Amino acid sequence: MSRTILHIDMDAFFAAIEVLDDSSLKGKPVIVGGSTNRSVVSTASYEARRFGVHSAMPIFKAKEKCPQGIFLLVNMDRYKEVSKKVMDIVKDFSPLVEPVSIDEAYLDITGSENLLGSPEEIARHIKERIGKETGLTCSIGIAPNKFLAKVASDMNKPDGLTIISADEVDTFLSRLPVEKIPGVGKRTVEGLRHNGIKKVGDLKRFSKEQLIRRFGRFGSRLHELANDRDDSEVALEREIKSLSSEGTLESDTGDLAYLKRLVASHADKVAWRLRREGLKGRTVTLKIKFDDFSEMSKSRTIDYPTDSTKIISDSAIELLFNDPLKRKVRLIGVAVSKLKESGEGYQMDLFEDWHAQEKERRVDETMDEIKMRFGKRMIKKGRG
C-alpha cells in the first residue's frame, strides 16, 4: 500500500531560537557553537551561511570567514524546551511520530486525508501551528517513503514545503545526485562517481549483489533506495530504560587487569551513548557471565545522575574488584539505569566535588567532539 510520510526539519534551529529570544539579532549572521577556538560551529543563521559558515566548521575558521558574525554559546536546555513544544504540536497530527533528532521528526499520515485534509493541507497546518506557537519556521517534505521525505524537506529550505508524489518518484530518483543520500560520505560519493554513478537512478543499472560487493552492507541500502524500496517504518519513540554495552571475550579469563580494561571500555561506550541521548543515570550495573554460563550482576546506585565516563567507569571497576571472581569470565558488560534527561535539574554545585566533576565533564566534551569529527574508533582514554 502506498504510504504518505512527512519529514519535518526546523530551520537553522539553534540560531533561530537565539534570534527569537533576542530580536536585535534578526537578519544578522548568528553563529552558535563552542567557546574555544578549538570547538566547532553547531549551526549558523542563513545570513551567516552566506559567508560560507556551516555546522562542524571550527570556530576559528568561522571567525575568519565571517568576522562580523555574532558568536553565541550553545544553550541546550533552552533548545530542548523548544524541541519538546515542536514535537508536541507534531504529535497532534498523527499517532505515528518518530523524532529523529532535536529538530527533526517523521510522521506517517497515511489514511489521514478524511480526517485532516490532503497531505499538503496537513503540512501547511503543521507549519502554521509551529509558527504561531513557537515563532519559528520549519521545512517539510512529503513523499511515499522516509528517504524521499527527508530529501524533500531539505530541498526548499528555509520555510519550505516540497511534495514528491508516488508517480513522480522515478523521475525524481533519476535526477537526484548521489550526494543527497543521507549518510553518504565523500568517500562513497567518490567511489560511486568512479563507477559512473552520479544520480541515484544510475544505481539501477547494478544488481544488489554488485552493489554489496563494491560498497558492503551499504550497497544493499543503495539498491533499495534506487529501486524505490525504502520500506523502513516510522518507528515510535521508545522510552529508554537503561543503556548497556557488553561483549563475549575471545577466550575465558580470570586476568583482572585485562577485565578492568574491558570494563572501562564498556563504561566509556555507555557514557558516550548517554551523553548523545541527553540522558544521565544513577545505577551502574556490572554483568558477568562465567565459563560455566552462570551469570552474576552487581549494582551500585550513586547519589546523583551522571553521564561521566570516569564516574561510570570507576563505579563498574569497583564492582569488579569487590569480591574475588569464582570462575573464569566468558562475558562482561556495563549497564546504566535509573535514567533521566540531562536537563532535568540537579544542582551540581550542591556537591563538594563540583570542580572535579566539571573537569571530567570538559574531558568528556572534548572526547565527544573528537569522536564526532573523526569517528568513534579514533580515541580511547589512556586509562586502565
| φ, ψ at 35 (rounded to 5°) | -95, -25
Q: Is the dihedral of CA 70, 75, 76, 77 positive or negative?
A: negative
Q: Give CA–CA dist 132/169, Å, rounded.
A: 33
Cell numbers 524537506: residue: 153
Q: How far is the CB of 32 from Mg ion (least distance, A)?
A: 12
Closest to 228 measured CA to CA, from 179, 182, 188, 168: 168
Query: x/- binding map, residues 30-69, to ligand TTP, per CB under 6 A?
Result: ------------xx-----------xx-------------
Closer to Mg ion by Cβ: residue 158 or 254: 158
Q: Is residue 378 near ligand TTP by the rule CB under 6 A?
A: no
Query: x/- binding map, residues 199-218, to Mg ion, per CB under 5 A?
Result: --------------------
Closer to ligand TTP by Cβ: residue 117 or 278: 278
CA angle 187, 183, 131 (to 5 degrees): 140
Contact criterion met (CB below 8 Å) for 62 and 100: no
Contact partners, residue 184, CB within 8 Å, separation at least 6: 178, 192
Query: x/- binding map, residues 137-176, to ligand TTP, per CB under 6 A?
Result: --------------------xx------------------
Closer to ligand TTP by Cβ: residue 42 or 245: 42
Active site residue 104: yes
- What is the four-CA torsion angle of 248, 253, 259, 261, rounded to 10 degrees? -80
Q: How many residues bind ligand TTP (CB under 6 A)?
A: 15
Number of residues written out for the chain: 384
Contact criterion met (CB below 8 Å) for 11 and 33: no
**Could you say which of Mg ion, ligand TTP, none residue 43 binds, taking C-beta under 5 to 8 angstroms by partner kind?**
ligand TTP
Q: How far is the CB of 56 from Mg ion (least distance, A)?
A: 14
Q: Is residue 14 near ligand TTP by the rule CB under 6 A?
A: yes
The residue type found at 107 is L
Q: How far is the CB of 141 from Mg ion (least distance, A)?
A: 12
The b-or-e profile of 238-265 (16+ CB within 10 A means b, else e) is eeeeebebbeebeeebeeeeebbebbbb
The region of 7-15, 32-40, 179-187, 369-377 touching Mg ion under the rule CB under 5 A is 7-15
Of 10, 122, 130, 270, which lies in the binding site for ligand TTP, with binding defined by CB under 6 A? 10
Q: Is residue 103 near ligand TTP by the rule CB under 6 A?
A: yes
Q: Is residue 10 near Mg ion by the rule CB under 5 A?
A: yes
Of 57, 100, 102, 155, which lies in the binding site for ligand TTP, with binding defined by CB under 6 A? 102
Catalytically annotated residue among 64, 104, 224, 344: 104
Closer to ligand TTP by Cβ: residue 33 or 219: 33
Closer to Mg ion by Cβ: residue 17 or 334: 17
Q: Is residue 71 near ligand TTP by the rule CB under 6 A?
A: no
Closer to ligand TTP by Cβ: residue 224 or 364: 364
Binding site for ligand TTP (CB under 6 A): 9-14, 42-43, 55-56, 102-104, 157-158
Active-site annotation, residues = 104
Binding site for Mg ion (CB under 5 A): 9-10, 13, 103
